[in-house]
């Protein structure tokens, strides 16, 4: 009940589909892969819009971390491709919907109450990519196995520290 009284009236028309950590923030699912030009350009367009409004948003790159892809698919109950935008636990849409809202002057109203990000500086650890190379395996996803079992021919095991791409979340900004 208290949430409804504080929630922007503009957000009430959007379906409640809250990704993890998105209750009071802006979550932007994106990809940094350039394999499909339109998808990459759509992601860049939404990122530009969010940056131009100088609001704090959490960018989750599904190509860098499979957990983000699974979050997105779980939130929207199916396989979808980025970009996808959520504001305060409400699903706003993909590129066409977000650009349309901006052109109508409604995106600014949806972003009211979101904390401002007035810094133009990038993270010193990752350059705003939000991931860094795993220091445990140097990005190979393999580490030497401990122990002296001569029965097993495997010298390497999967690195327990990093994701499927040999990356870990940036310790400075994530």
Answer yes or no: CATH 3.40.630.30 is held by domain 15-111.
no
pLDDT tens, 129-145?
A: 889 999 999 999 988 87
Domain boundaries, the chain: 15-111, 122-173
Question: Cβ distance 58 to 128 under 8 Å?
Answer: no
* Alpha helix positions (H), the chain: 2-6, 37-52, 66-75, 95-103, 107-110
- What b/e sequence results for 157-172 when a residue is b if at least 16 CB atoms lie within 10 Å of its CB, and e otherwise? eebeebbeebbbbbee
pLDDT tens, 79-108?
A: 999 999 999 999 999 999 999 999 999 999
The residue among 21, 19, 41, 20 whose CA lies nearest residue 31 is 41
Q: What's the pTM?
A: 0.78
How confident is residue 7, by pLDDT bands cut at 50, 70 and 90? low
For residue 146, give the 3-state DSSP assignment: coil
* pLDDT computed for residue 130 by the predictor: 84
Q: Any idea which of 16-30, 83-97, 151-165 has the lowest mean pLDDT?
A: 151-165
Separation in Å, CA 53 to CA 32, 108, 111, 165: 21, 7, 8, 32
Residue-level length of the chain: 174
The residue among 17, 128, 133, 111 whose CA lies nearest residue 71 is 17
* Mean pLDDT value across the chain: 88
DSSP conformation letters of 47-88: HHHHHHTTB--EEEETTT-HHHHHHHHHHTTS---S-EEEET
Whole-angstrom distance, CA of residue 131 vs CA of residue 59: 11
């Amino acid at each position: 009940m208290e949430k409804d009284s504080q929630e922007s009236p503009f957000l009430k028309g959007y379906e409640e589909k809250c990704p993890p950590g998105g209750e009071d923030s802006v979550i932007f699912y994106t990809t940094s892969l350039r394999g499909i030009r339109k998808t990459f350009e759509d992601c860049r367009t939404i990122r530009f819009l969010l940056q131009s409004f100088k609001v704090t948003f959490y960018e989750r790159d599904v190509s860098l971390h499979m957990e983000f892809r699974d979050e997105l698919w779980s939130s929207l109950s199916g396989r979808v491709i980025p970009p996808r935008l959520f504001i305060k636990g409400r699903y706003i849409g993909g590129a066409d919907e977000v650009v349309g809202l901006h052109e109508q002057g409604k995106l600014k109203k949806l972003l009211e109450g979101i904390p401002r990000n007035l810094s133009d500086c990038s993270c010193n650890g990752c350059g705003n990519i939000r991931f860094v190379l795993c220091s445990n395996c140097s990005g190979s996803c393999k580490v030497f196995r401990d122990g002296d079992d001569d029965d097993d021919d495997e010298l390497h095991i999967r690195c327990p520290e990093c994701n499927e791409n040999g990356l870990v979340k940036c310790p400075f900004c994530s």
